[in-house]
Amino acid sequence: MGFFDKLFSGVAVGSREPQKPSGVELELRRRLTVLASDEVAQDAPQRYFLRWEGQVQGVGFRFTNTNLAQARALTGWVRNMEDGSVEMELQGTPANIVSQLEALHASYERMGTRFRLVDAQTRTPLANEDGFSPHY
């Protein structure tokens, strides 16, 4: 049993059952999967504005997204909002963005943290953005 598993084993922070992606997230994944399978579009950078609600503050959500994005060569930013949500802009190949979403859910599933993607909007990719960072 790992450190975090021990730490959270006695704390009821939510259901331990796998969380299903929201309808917004399922639609985003569908769009990205189509793009990833298209030989012309699969390497073209995509950019999305995303807004998450649920248990997204005080659980390392910005830190986790930053690490996952950097590992996948994604660029953009993530920030906490006053209303308790988290906003993010994410840019990269469709396959890497799908991988980010999958890894994000896998990271929080073991703790039972509940969150959902409530908004996903297409943005124009930025040409010279360097890296992914949390905004404070």
Return the active site residues: 62, 80
Instruction: Write out the DSSP string of 62-128.
Output: HHHHHHHHHHTT-EEEEEE-TTS-EEEEEEE-HHHHHHHHHHHHHHHHTTT--EEEEEEEEEPPPSS
- Chain position carrying tokens 């802009």: 89
Contacts of 6 (CB under 8 A, 6+ apart): none
